[in-house]
Structure 1
Amino acid sequence: MGTLMLLRTSLGGHEYVPPADAAWSWKNICKVKEMMKDGYSDGQWIADTKGYFIRSRYEWLRMQQPKQDWVPLVWSKWNIPKHTIIAWIIMNNGLDVKEKLCKIGYCTDDRCLICDSDTETQEHLFFNCRYSQKIMQQMELWCGFSLQTNMNMGIMPPKVCLKQKVQYLVVIACYYQVWTQRNSARMNQVLIRPEKVSEHIIEEVRSRIRRKLNEPVSRTNKIWLTKWGIL
């Protein structure tokens, strides 16, 4: 029996509110009920008359959320999986930067762990920190296009060419490495020079592209792939 049906039969309907002293786990179950009750009526799931299936409930819940234009860019199969996870957290504003940690009382100093010149927010860390800017500049020199125009993860073009896929691969790799170095500064008091980080990103990008190139490329693509030391 689904959570909604259980709550309805045992507590007398959808209007039940857990008491203030209820267990944390029970309060969270009730939160699920609140999120999903609009899709449930008279003992039956509105969108599916065939019974209770977790997949159909998930699909209904997913459709209630606004569609994010950056999703196809972040979850592109060209991106390195561990980089994708960090990029997804970033796009959901979920990183534990010091600005957040200070607000919950975890620390009292909100200065950037890398440059110590401003409050450590996601915006500062990836766009305004001198360290990350240096990495971006060096990567732009290597790849020959502006990373700044891609950093905000805009709307996915109708047809994404190989070069665009690689551009987002580079952007997300930069995100990952900046966050990695930030954590190294926090946990180990060690910070690798931007030049070395850029070299590491280049090797990761080259390796990933070689693995994903499973079909012939155009003459135009061969030119810049050769320039990047991939072919």
Structure 2
Amino acid sequence: MENAMVSDAISGSSWSLPHPRSQQEVELHAYLTTLTLPLTHDKDDIFEWVAGNSPLCVFRSSTTWEVLRSRQEKKDWVDVVWFKGAVPKHCFTMWVTNYDRLPTRSRLAGWGMLVSAECAFCSRFDETRDHLMLTCEYSTQVWKEVLLRCQSPSTLLTNWSELLSWIRSSPSKKLTLLRKLATQTTIFHLWKQRNNLMHNQTSISPESIFYGIDKDMRNIISVRRVSKHFRSLMAMWLR
């Protein structure tokens, strides 16, 4: 009952509790028998909310959330996936890709599904994350155009760790931001085209993929041009 008091559960000098209907109630009754009965009726009831080892006089959702959710150490990739000015759908795809949880053909075959593990783009190698996103001939043609606008690395990117390292190795914060945006946009468009090819049997050229990436990048930068972090990005991207 909403307005019930502890004294309502006491009869004389003992507890007056309903018959337990669950194991939890049995355990509660057993615990109450170990406690000294509350003070006399002329004393007001008080309550405490205990979150972890911190007793509180009022309920605080923030404190309760911190107790319920075990806080982990900050991941070293967090700034590449989540950052101010990023596009939410691009961030989500990047996040799933970073964890290597995309349902690539290689993973689907590993789950026992009756599908070929071959890459949907080239049909020459298994469709793993690193192959699909970085080393496939189709993908490298897309990346070639993207990297030219973000100061290309000295060697081709062959795995995910190298991609993350390249993003962070830029000599300026604005170039780092440009690389983050370009990487997330490229990953999103490659995965979108892979699905389009798988489910709709629609094939388009790498040049068309880059056209979509270029259009998205221009729109992203234009919409955020009032921010000081984005003011010079358009010139960097268009050179």
In the superposition, the TM-score normalised over structure 1's length comes to 0.68
**2:104 is the alignment partner of 1:97:** yes
Q: How many residues align?
A: 191
What per-residue deviation string (whole Å, max 9, x for no partner) do you get for residues 111-170 of structure 1? 11111111111121112211111110111224443394872267969x972221111100
> Which amino acid in structure 1 is aligned with residue 142 of structure 2?
I
Structure 2 runs not aligned, ≥5 long: 1-21, 29-48
> Which amino acid in structure 2 is aligned with residue 105 of structure 1?
G
Structure 1 runs not aligned, ≥5 long: 1-6, 14-42
Task: Name the CA shift for 1:163/1:186 in 2 (closer, same or farther; >3 Å).
Answer: same
**2:125 is the alignment partner of 1:118:** yes
Q: Which moved more, 1:98-107 or 1:161-170?
A: 98-107
Q: Percent identity of the aligned residues?
A: 24
C-alpha distance in 2, partners of 1:97/1:11? 50
Task: Name the CA shift for 1:105/1:193 in 2 (closer, same or farther; >3 Å).
Answer: same
**2:191 is the alignment partner of 1:191:** no
> Which amino acid in structure 1 is aligned with residue 144 of structure 2?
Q
Match of 2:95 in 1: 88
Alignment of 1:128-147 (within 5 A): 128-146=135-153
C-alpha distance in 1, partners of 2:74/2:181? 22
- The alignment yields a C-alpha RMSD, in angstroms, of 3.5
Q: The residue matched to 1:49 in structure 2 has which SS? A: strand
How much does 1:48 deviate?
4.2
* Aligned partner of 1:228 among 207, 226, 237: 237
Which of the pair is proportionally richer in helix?
A: 1
In the superposition, the TM-score normalised over structure 2's length comes to 0.66
What per-residue deviation string (whole Å, max 9, x for no partner) do you get for residues 180-225 of structure 1? 111011101112110111121111111111211214579xx74x74
Task: Name the CA shift for 1:217/1:9 in 2 (closer, same or farther; >3 Å).
Answer: closer
**2:114 is the alignment partner of 1:107:** yes
C-alpha distance in 1, partners of 2:75/2:166? 10
Larger radius of gyration: 2
Task: Name the CA shift for 1:60/1:165 in 2 (closer, same or farther; >3 Å).
Answer: farther
Q: The residue matched to 2:198 in structure 1 has which SS? A: helix
Alignment of 1:37-186 (within 5 A): 44-46=50-52, 48-50=54-56, 55-60=62-67, 62-146=69-153, 148=157, 151-152=163-164, 161-186=173-198
